[in-house]
Chains A and B, each alone.
Chain A
Amino acid sequence: GQQVMQIPQYQHVQEGEDFTTYCNSSTTLSNIQWYKQRPGGHPVFLIQLVKSGEVKKQKRLTFQFGEAKKNSSLHITATQTTDVGTYFCAGDVSPPGGSNYKLTFGKGTLLTVNP
């Protein structure tokens, strides 16, 4: 079945360093979404990418969607302690116009930041 692979599983950085997490799908995605889950919290939606090669920015966060719509990345510039949490990608593999809409989540990357 559809798989969404995400690496690394863990990343520990010093405050101020950059961080990147990568997501790969075995099939083409209709769109990809990114979520952040703080320790003890629930996933919170960050962004959705739809177009091939799309790049979106949210302050220090940069999201990219690959040309083939099978991979994506989230890059954080100059991490802060408030960035701590698990970042999940989630792919929508349903065909356009399909009714069986379903997100498949990656395993997530746990980011810890040393102040």
Chain B
Amino acid sequence: SAVISQKPSRDICQRGTSLTIQCQVDSQVTMMFWYRQQPGQSLTLIATANQGSEATYESGFVIDKFPISRPNLTFSTLTVSNMSPEDSSIYLCSVEDQGGGHGYTFGSGTRLTVV
């Protein structure tokens, strides 16, 4: 299955600042997915990132707040902009494992605390 390197693993940020999270995949993938997981909660899809096109955002998430880059088929970034304490969460990237029936592989997550 795919291997994803996600960084940073955690960060503590001041409100009003921005943090960029990076995900590097060891194989080329068409779509990359960004999720948010608040402590003890389920995973909520933020957006789907396709190479060469703008990301598709889910209801409640906007590009100005969560800009995404997808410069090639192995890499993507998610920026959390103008952070507030409500943005404190775990952010995960994910890709579908190729071949069908193998589910999705997740990055190890970025634990963000906004103070």
Question: Are A48 and B42 touching (Cβ within 8 A)?
Answer: no
Question: Are A45 and B103 touching (Cβ within 8 A)?
Answer: yes
Which residue of A47, A48, A103 is within 8 Å of B45 (Cβ)? A103
- In chain B, positions 84-102 with a C-beta closer than 8 Å to chain A are 92, 96-97, 101-102
Question: Shortest distance in angstroms between B95's beta carbon and chain A's nearest beta carbon?
Answer: 11
Interface majority SS (helix, strand, loop, mixed), chain A:
strand
How big is the A interface, by class? Answer: 20 to 34
Residues of A within 8 A of B41 (CB): 107
Q: Is A43 an interface residue (CB 8 A)?
A: yes
CA distance A99 to B105 in the complex (A): 20
CA distance A110 to B109 in the complex (A): 19
Residues of A within 8 A of B66 (CB): none
Q: Is A106 an interface residue (CB 8 A)?
A: yes
Whose C-beta in chain B lies nearest to the C-beta of A106? B42
Residues in A lying within 8 Å of B, measured CB to CB = 1, 33, 35, 41-48, 50, 88, 90, 101-108, 110
Residues in B lying within 8 Å of A, measured CB to CB = 1, 31, 33, 40-45, 48, 59, 92, 96-97, 101-109
